[in-house]
């Protein structure tokens, strides 16, 4: 429409333009000394004709536009009517399908009473199957299949029976025997614990072997079985979280009670664990201490965290900062308000990766800028590496380069996990990683080249050449150890010559060396057996 309006405005100004042209032409006639054959009347008639033709074409365009708008409106109206009809048909079909589903579900539930017994094989059905008779598929077939799949997700009957029997040793053994399916068992344990008469008591009883024996071992490094027991105990305590609803009433949704007696037992266990935890060198765990995690989980699962000072609990958090359950564990213990201080401790101790993960978990990234922390961490690593490389042995320099390489890889992983590529590009870091890895490979090759080359052993496994004999080397029979030495004075006498004497042979009938004369009665059997040639 804007183009048509501009054209109309230009056509309206045509008259004024003609008048201006007339005045200019008159002025030109007055000032010109040459007579002109072209008269003004002719020019005026020409421009008037052009004006009329333009107005006529403009009118035709307006009529065509009007017709197009009417056709477009009719088409849109027809499309809306067709769309409404399709939607109405779909709704009608969905209502009918829902009615059929409801009827099928009602029939199935009324017959099976919410159970799926294994159907007995009817002889008639078997005969029809053998004859190739195919029954039509029911509309409820998908629903039945859905119920069967949901039944398959139920906990294993053995796991449920162990929880019902309160069999602690059997539960530990079952989890240990099925450790390859630990991810599935972890999902099934909460529902299995609900079948136990006292789930809290069952889990508390399972913690007795956490510190088995007199040796206090960190992370079970000296005993793989002990490490498996501790991980099982931790998993059972974490599963209790789904049974808890209210810490004030101590009741779960299924009516299982967290009694005062169980709480007292849990407090006693926590006191024993805390005393043994103080004896451990948990600083060496580097933020991944299983024992500290289990102690904090014990307090959270049995609701006894109020027995300990929050500051003392916060001192244990740096020892579990690398574990994925730490943020949720802090919330269960009510330590969310203390997290800025914990993150600050991690930053000061040179562990910015753990600090950044916790900052994202508790939405504290404005207070602790991840990019600035990562850059400062790499600056410190490079500063220490370059400062010590000047007065260090080659082995210590390699160790510092390894430390820088590990730091670079950890920073790149952190940037990719939290999507910080726009704020902190990883291309320079990856180039530095490639440079360090290349230098590491070059040093390894140089060290290997500097080592003295040992004498290559011969094919027979000896550094000396084999003894030369007159026999063919390609023996078709397996070789045996040499029974007799090469020199006559080293040979042992086996038995004496027999009494009957045979005439001595002037020459050996076979191509055998004199040192190994095989004639009868010399007391030495032939050492080599010639192959039997077919």
Domain boundaries, the chain: 1-108, 157-245, 258-368, 370-448
pLDDT of residue 223: 72
Rounded to 5 degrees, what angle do the CA atoms 122, 126, 131 make?
150
Interior/surface letters 45-62, b for 16+ CB within 10 angstroms, e for the rest: eebeeeeeeeeeeeeeee
Cα dihedral sign, 164-170-176-177:
negative
Number of neighbouring beta carbons within 10 Å of residue 232 = 24
Q: Could you tell me which residues come within 8 angstroms of residue 405 by beta carbon, excluding any fewer than 6 positions away?
A: 433, 436, 437, 440
Cβ distance 132 to 165 under 8 Å?
no
Q: For residues 4 and 471, give the distance between their C-alpha atoms in angstroms, rounded to a whole number.
A: 115
Residue 396: which of 405, 384, 388, 386 has the closest Cα?
388
pLDDT of residue 103: 87
Structure tokens at 227: 């490490």
pLDDT of residue 113: 54
Residue 358: which of 325, 313, 381, 316 has the closest Cα?
325
Structure tokens at 389: 């490389």
Q: For residues 493 and 528, give the distance between their C-alpha atoms in angstroms, rounded to a whole number.
A: 19
Helices of type H across 317-390: 326-332, 339-348, 352-361, 370-388
Q: Could you tell me which residues come within 8 angstroms of residue 21 by beta carbon, excluding any fewer than 6 positions away?
A: 43, 47
Q: For residues 115 and 223, give the distance between their C-alpha atoms in angstroms, rounded to a whole number.
A: 46
Number of helical (H) and strand (E) elements in the chain, helices listed first: 19, 0
Q: Which residue has the tokens 């009324």?
A: 110
Question: Is the pTM here over 0.75, yes or no?
Answer: no
- Report how far apart, in Å, the C-alpha atoms of 260 and of each of 195, 230, 243, 251, 267 are: 21, 25, 17, 12, 10
Phi, psi (rounded to 5 degrees) for 371: -65, -45
Phi, psi (rounded to 5 degrees) for 96: -65, -40
- Report how far apart, in Å, the C-alpha atoms of 403 and of each of 39, 109, 372, 392 are: 100, 65, 20, 15
- pLDDT, tens digit only, all 534 positions of the chain: 567 777 777 777 777 888 888 888 777 777 664 455 556 778 788 888 888 888 888 889 989 998 999 999 999 989 988 888 898 888 888 888 888 888 888 888 777 654 544 444 444 444 444 444 444 444 444 444 444 444 444 556 889 999 999 999 999 999 999 988 888 999 999 999 999 999 999 999 999 989 876 455 555 455 788 888 999 999 999 998 777 644 444 444 444 678 899 999 999 999 999 999 888 888 778 888 999 999 999 999 999 999 999 999 999 999 999 999 999 999 999 999 999 999 999 999 999 999 999 999 999 999 999 999 999 999 988 887 666 555 667 777 778 888 889 999 999 999 999 999 999 999 999 999 999 998 888 888 887 777 776 666 555 555 555 555 544 444 444 444 444 444 444 444 444 444 444 444 444 444 444 444 444 444 444 444 444 444
Interior/surface letters 22-34, b for 16+ CB within 10 angstroms, e for the rest: eeebeeeeeeeee
């Amino acid at each position: 429409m804007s183009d048509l309006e501009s054209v109309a405005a230009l056509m309206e100004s045509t008259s004024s333009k003609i008048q201006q042209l007339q005045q200019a032409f008159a002025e030109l006639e007055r000032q010109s000394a040459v007579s002109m054959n072209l008269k003004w009347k002719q020019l005026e008639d020409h421009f008037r004709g052009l004006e009329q033709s333009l107005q006529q074409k403009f009118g035709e365009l307006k009529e065509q536009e009007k017709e197009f708008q009417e056709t477009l409106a009719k088409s849109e109206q027809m499309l809306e009517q067709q769309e409404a009809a399709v939607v109405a048909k779909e709704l009608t079909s969905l209502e009918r399908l829902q009615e059929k589903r409801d009827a099928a579900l009602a029939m199935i539930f009324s017959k099976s009473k919410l159970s799926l017994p294994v159907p007995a094989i009817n002889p008639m059905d078997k005969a029809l199957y053998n004859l190739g008779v195919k029954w039509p598929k029911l509309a409820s077939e998908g629903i039945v299949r859905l119920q069967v799949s949901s039944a398959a997700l139920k906990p294993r009957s053995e796991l449920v029976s162990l929880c019902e029997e309160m069999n602690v040793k059997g539960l530990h053994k079952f989890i240990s025997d099925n450790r390859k399916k630990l991810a599935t068992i972890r999902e099934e344990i909460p529902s299995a614990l609900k079948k136990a008469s006292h789930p809290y008591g069952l889990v508390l009883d399972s913690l007795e072997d956490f510190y088995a024996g007199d040796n206090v071992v960190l992370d079970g490094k000296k005993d793989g079985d002990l490490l498996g027991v501790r991980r099982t105990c931790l998993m059972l305590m974490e599963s209790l979280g789904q049974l808890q609803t209210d810490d004030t009433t101590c009741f779960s949704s299924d009516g299982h009670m967290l009694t005062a007696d169980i709480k007292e037992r849990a407090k006693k266990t926590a006191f024993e664990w805390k005393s043994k935890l103080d004896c451990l060198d948990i600083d060496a765990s580097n933020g991944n201490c299983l024992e500290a995690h289990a102690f904090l989980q014990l307090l959270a699962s049995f609701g006894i965290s109020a027995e300990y000072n929050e500051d003392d609990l916060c001192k244990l958090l740096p020892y579990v900062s690398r574990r994925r359950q730490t943020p949720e564990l802090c919330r269960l213990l009510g330590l969310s308000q203390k997290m800025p201080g914990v993150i600050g401790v991690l930053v000061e101790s040179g562990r910015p990766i753990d600090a950044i993960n916790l900052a994202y978990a508790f939405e504290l990234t404005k207070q602790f800028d991840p990019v600035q922390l990562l850059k400062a961490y790499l600056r410190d690593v490079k500063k220490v590496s370059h400062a010590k490389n000047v007065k260090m042995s080659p082995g210590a320099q390699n160790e510092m380069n390894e430390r820088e390489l590990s730091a670079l890889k950890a920073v790149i992983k952190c940037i990719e996990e939290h999507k910080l590529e726009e704020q902190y590009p990883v291309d320079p870091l990856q180039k530095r990683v490639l440079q360090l890895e290349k230098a590491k490979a070059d040093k390894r090759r140089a060290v290997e080249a500097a080592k003295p080359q040992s004498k290559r052993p011969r094919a027979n496994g000896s550094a000396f050449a084999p003894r030369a004999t007159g026999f063919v080397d390609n023996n078709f029979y397996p070789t045996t150890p040499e029974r007799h030495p090469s020199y006559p004075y080293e040979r042992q006498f086996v038995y004496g010559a027999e009494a009957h004497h045979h005439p001595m042979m002037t020459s050996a009938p076979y191509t055998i060396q004199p040192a190994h004369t095989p004639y009868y009665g010399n007391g030495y059997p032939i050492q080599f057996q010639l192959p039997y040639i077919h």
